Amino acid sequence: MRTRPAARAGQYAALLAYLVFLAFPFVWLASTAFKPATELAGLHPTWIPKDPTLANFRQAFDEQPLLRAALNSLLTASAAALVAVAVATPMAYVMARHRSALARAATGWVVVSQAFPFVLLIIPLFLVLKNLRLIDSLPGLVLVHVVWSLPFALWMLTGYVRAVPAELEEAAAVDGAGRLRTLVSVTVPLLAPGIAATALFAFVTAWNEFFFALVLLKTPEQQTLPVLLTRFIGAEGVADLGPLAAAAFLATLPSLLVFALIQRRITGSLLAGAVKG
């Protein structure tokens, strides 16, 4: 049954409206970052800066150690994504291939655990990190990010493993390949789109995370970029809007860059995402 032109036009209009809705915050943030102070203080805001300037970026770098905070965020987010994917991949393989009551219960627990609020987890995590002497350290923050993102990463990868035909693994077993070699040589290459999507999720989650970093990191040299952005807000709650917008604009670029680099694999994961039950 063919879609009517009017219905198709309505679909395109809805899609365009949705894209504008998603892009508006970033466009407005970029516009604010390049506006001079006099234009920011004006009564009539404009979409495009009349007199673009880089003064806000220079002031942001002069006031706060953005590069160091960005490096801390990059290291923690990258490490958390790599560890989460490395741990979740074999676990997802076991849960997908061995469908027992225990595996179903574990899957249910993974889904339920995502409903736990940050406040409920921070106290036991704090005590564990204190015993491990990882408070106020980037490795401790990486561990927390892995714990937080691992359940959803495991749930995602389990679905992708189930989409891989078991006959391919059986053929590898006939040829003499063991479980580990089958996983590394047969299953993991087919999971590349799903692994890329899962790694992006873990990276973006760790990059944007604020609460754990605020509670666990006290030394200024260890603070991540989201925590550092709060320094642009004064004690009375008045924000230095220009430098804050410039710093926030720079903070969004790494996530967009990572997405641009692996968008083909993510698109492949969506096309290959006909998950088997």
| Whether pLDDT at 196 is above 80 | yes
User: Is 127 domain-assigned?
Assistant: yes
What local confidence, expressed as pLDDT, does residue 274 receive?
Answer: 40
What is the rounded average pLDDT of the residues 12-19?
84
Does residue 26 fall inside a structural domain?
Answer: no
- Residue 127 scores a pLDDT above 50: yes
Domain enclosing residue 265, as ranges? 54-271
More confident residue, 84 or 126: 84
Per-residue pLDDT of 88-120, as tens digits, reads 998 888 888 777 676 667 667 766 766 777 777
What are the beta bridge partners of residue 239? 233
Does the pLDDT of residue 273 top 50, yes or no? Answer: no
Give how many domains the chain has, as a whole number: 1
Residue 45 lies in a domain: no
Task: Reply yes or no on whether the pLDDT at 271 is more than 70.
Answer: no
Separation of alpha carbons 140 and 155, rounded Å: 24
Instruction: Confirm whether 172 is domain-assigned.
Output: yes
- The answer to whether residues 35 and 45 touch, using CB atoms and an 8 Å cutoff, is no
What tens digit of pLDDT does each residue of 202-255 get? 998 899 899 889 888 888 889 999 999 888 886 666 677 888 889 999 888 888
Residues 6+ apart with CB under 8 A from 107: 95, 155, 158
CA distances from 103 to 96, 106, 154, 180, 232 (A): 8, 5, 12, 20, 47
Model pLDDT, residue 276: 42
Give residue 195's pLDDT band: very low, low, confident or very high (50, 70, 90).
confident
- We report the CATH number of the domain holding residue 190 as 1.10.3720.10
Predicted TM-score (pTM) of the model is 0.80
The answer to whether residue 246 sits within a structural domain is yes
Is residue 44 in some structural domain? no
Q: Is 196 or 42 the better-scoring residue by pLDDT? A: 196
Domain-embedded: residue 34:
no
State the pLDDT at residue 235. 62
pLDDT of residue 145: 92
